[in-house]
Amino acid sequence: MSTNSTIGAKKYKTWYLIDINKRSCVDITKSLVIGREGGDVNFPNDKKVSRLHFAIELRKNNVFIKDLGSTNGTRVNGQIIKPQEEIKLSPSDEIKFGSQLFVIISQKQFFDKFWEERSITTNGFTERTEINQSKIDHILKIIRKPEDDFES
Protein backbone atom coordinates (compact mmCIF):
# COMPACT_ATOMS: atom_id res chain seq x y z
CA MET A 1 0.00 0.00 0.00
CA SER A 2 1.47 3.35 -0.97
CA THR A 3 1.40 6.29 1.40
CA ASN A 4 1.38 10.03 0.89
CA SER A 5 3.90 10.64 3.65
CA THR A 6 7.29 12.08 2.80
CA ILE A 7 9.97 9.46 3.41
CA GLY A 8 12.24 10.40 6.28
CA ALA A 9 10.13 13.39 7.30
CA LYS A 10 7.14 13.85 9.55
CA LYS A 11 5.01 15.63 6.97
CA TYR A 12 1.84 14.17 5.57
CA LYS A 13 -0.20 15.19 2.55
CA THR A 14 -3.46 13.92 3.99
CA TRP A 15 -5.08 14.91 7.26
CA TYR A 16 -8.39 13.82 8.74
CA LEU A 17 -11.09 15.54 10.76
CA ILE A 18 -12.58 12.97 13.10
CA ASP A 19 -16.23 13.75 13.91
CA ILE A 20 -16.56 12.65 17.52
CA ASN A 21 -20.38 12.93 17.53
CA LYS A 22 -21.05 10.97 14.33
CA ARG A 23 -18.08 8.57 14.56
CA SER A 24 -16.97 9.40 11.03
CA CYS A 25 -14.19 11.31 9.34
CA VAL A 26 -13.54 13.89 6.65
CA ASP A 27 -10.42 13.53 4.48
CA ILE A 28 -8.53 16.80 4.10
CA THR A 29 -6.75 16.46 0.78
CA LYS A 30 -7.52 20.03 -0.33
CA SER A 31 -8.90 23.24 1.14
CA LEU A 32 -12.43 22.92 2.55
CA VAL A 33 -15.13 25.25 3.80
CA ILE A 34 -17.26 23.97 6.69
CA GLY A 35 -20.68 25.45 7.39
CA ARG A 36 -24.42 24.99 7.72
CA GLU A 37 -25.03 25.29 3.96
CA GLY A 38 -22.98 26.20 0.93
CA GLY A 39 -19.71 24.70 2.20
CA ASP A 40 -17.84 21.57 1.17
CA VAL A 41 -18.96 19.91 4.42
CA ASN A 42 -22.34 21.04 5.82
CA PHE A 43 -24.28 20.64 9.07
CA PRO A 44 -27.77 21.80 8.02
CA ASN A 45 -29.48 20.84 11.28
CA ASP A 46 -27.04 22.67 13.58
CA LYS A 47 -28.44 26.20 13.96
CA LYS A 48 -25.32 27.27 15.89
CA VAL A 49 -23.19 26.73 12.78
CA SER A 50 -22.98 29.71 10.41
CA ARG A 51 -23.72 29.32 6.71
CA LEU A 52 -19.97 29.43 5.95
CA HIS A 53 -18.38 28.89 9.37
CA PHE A 54 -14.67 28.20 8.88
CA ALA A 55 -12.12 27.16 6.27
CA ILE A 56 -9.48 24.45 6.43
CA GLU A 57 -6.45 25.02 4.19
CA LEU A 58 -3.81 22.45 3.29
CA ARG A 59 -0.52 24.11 2.34
CA LYS A 60 2.94 22.56 2.11
CA ASN A 61 1.84 19.53 4.14
CA ASN A 62 0.52 21.75 6.93
CA VAL A 63 -3.11 22.34 7.79
CA PHE A 64 -4.56 25.71 8.82
CA ILE A 65 -7.96 26.84 10.12
CA LYS A 66 -9.60 30.24 9.66
CA ASP A 67 -12.93 31.36 11.13
CA LEU A 68 -14.93 33.03 8.35
CA GLY A 69 -16.68 35.54 10.63
CA SER A 70 -19.06 33.00 12.15
CA THR A 71 -21.73 34.19 14.58
CA ASN A 72 -20.90 31.72 17.37
CA GLY A 73 -17.17 31.34 16.78
CA THR A 74 -14.77 28.46 16.28
CA ARG A 75 -12.64 27.04 19.08
CA VAL A 76 -9.34 25.21 18.79
CA ASN A 77 -8.36 23.40 21.99
CA GLY A 78 -10.89 25.53 23.87
CA GLN A 79 -9.55 28.86 22.61
CA ILE A 80 -11.76 30.97 20.36
CA ILE A 81 -10.25 31.98 17.01
CA LYS A 82 -10.61 35.62 16.03
CA PRO A 83 -12.59 36.13 12.80
CA GLN A 84 -10.35 35.83 9.72
CA GLU A 85 -7.36 34.78 11.89
CA GLU A 86 -5.47 31.81 10.49
CA ILE A 87 -4.06 29.24 12.90
CA LYS A 88 -1.78 26.29 12.10
CA LEU A 89 -3.23 23.04 13.42
CA SER A 90 -1.30 20.15 14.94
CA PRO A 91 -2.23 16.48 15.25
CA SER A 92 -4.80 15.85 18.02
CA ASP A 93 -6.04 19.47 18.05
CA GLU A 94 -9.71 19.69 19.00
CA ILE A 95 -12.04 21.85 16.89
CA LYS A 96 -15.41 22.90 18.36
CA PHE A 97 -18.05 24.85 16.43
CA GLY A 98 -21.79 24.91 17.02
CA SER A 99 -22.70 21.53 18.51
CA GLN A 100 -19.91 19.83 16.55
CA LEU A 101 -16.68 18.41 17.95
CA PHE A 102 -13.81 17.27 15.75
CA VAL A 103 -10.22 16.16 16.29
CA ILE A 104 -7.63 16.59 13.55
CA ILE A 105 -5.09 13.85 12.98
CA SER A 106 -2.38 13.18 10.43
CA GLN A 107 -2.49 10.34 7.94
CA LYS A 108 0.20 8.42 9.81
CA GLN A 109 -1.52 8.89 13.17
CA PHE A 110 -4.82 7.83 11.61
CA PHE A 111 -3.66 4.56 10.08
CA ASP A 112 -1.18 3.64 12.79
CA LYS A 113 -3.53 4.11 15.73
CA PHE A 114 -7.16 4.58 14.84
CA TRP A 115 -8.40 3.04 11.64
CA GLU A 116 -10.96 0.31 11.88
CA GLU A 117 -14.08 0.80 9.84
CA ARG A 118 -17.32 -0.74 8.92
CA SER A 119 -19.28 0.26 5.86
CA ILE A 120 -23.03 0.72 6.01
CA THR A 121 -24.47 -0.38 2.67
CA THR A 122 -27.86 0.01 1.06
CA ASN A 123 -28.76 -1.76 -2.19
CA GLY A 124 -25.13 -2.66 -2.79
CA PHE A 125 -23.85 0.93 -2.49
CA THR A 126 -21.78 2.23 0.40
CA GLU A 127 -23.92 4.78 2.18
CA ARG A 128 -21.38 5.81 4.80
CA THR A 129 -18.30 4.57 6.61
CA GLU A 130 -18.11 4.59 10.38
CA ILE A 131 -15.10 4.32 12.64
CA ASN A 132 -15.34 1.60 15.26
CA GLN A 133 -16.39 3.01 18.68
CA SER A 134 -13.38 1.42 20.41
CA LYS A 135 -11.16 3.49 18.12
CA ILE A 136 -13.08 6.68 19.02
CA ASP A 137 -12.58 5.83 22.71
CA HIS A 138 -8.87 5.41 22.00
CA ILE A 139 -8.75 8.82 20.28
CA LEU A 140 -10.45 10.44 23.26
CA LYS A 141 -7.99 8.84 25.70
CA ILE A 142 -5.06 10.20 23.73
CA ILE A 143 -6.37 13.75 23.42
CA ARG A 144 -8.02 14.02 26.84
CA LYS A 145 -5.97 15.70 29.52
CA PRO A 146 -6.26 14.26 33.05
CA GLU A 147 -7.79 17.52 34.32
CA ASP A 148 -10.68 17.08 31.85
CA ASP A 149 -12.03 14.35 34.11
CA PHE A 150 -12.61 16.80 36.97
CA GLU A 151 -15.04 19.70 37.18
CA SER A 152 -13.71 23.09 38.28
Q: Is 148 a domain residue?
A: no
Is 54's pLDDT higher than 80? yes
> How many domains are contained in the chain?
1
pLDDT above 80 for 12 = no
DSSP letter for each residue of 89-141 = --TT-EEEETTEEEEEEEHHHIIIII--EEEEEETTEEEEEEE-HHHHHHHHH
Does residue 34 belong to any structural domain of this protein? yes
Residue 5 lies in a domain: no
Confirm whether 51 is domain-assigned: yes
In a domain, residue 1? The reply is no
Residue 120 within a domain: no
| CA-based nearest residue to 104, from 61, 145, 63, 137 | 63
The answer to whether residue 134 sits within a structural domain is yes
Q: What percent of the chain has pLDDT over 70?
A: 62
Residue bearing the bigger pLDDT, 143 or 86: 86
Q: What is the CATH number of the domain that holds 72?
A: 2.60.200.20
Q: Is residue 97 part of a domain?
A: yes
Summarize pLDDT for 120-137 with one digit per residue, the tens. Answer: 566 666 555 566 556 566
Q: Is the dihedral of CA 7, 11, 15, 20 positive or negative?
A: positive
Q: Is the pLDDT of residue 78 over 50?
A: yes
pTM here?
0.66
- The confidence score (pLDDT) of residue 37 equals 95
Note down the domain range covering 63.
15-115+128-143
Average pLDDT over residues 73-92: 95
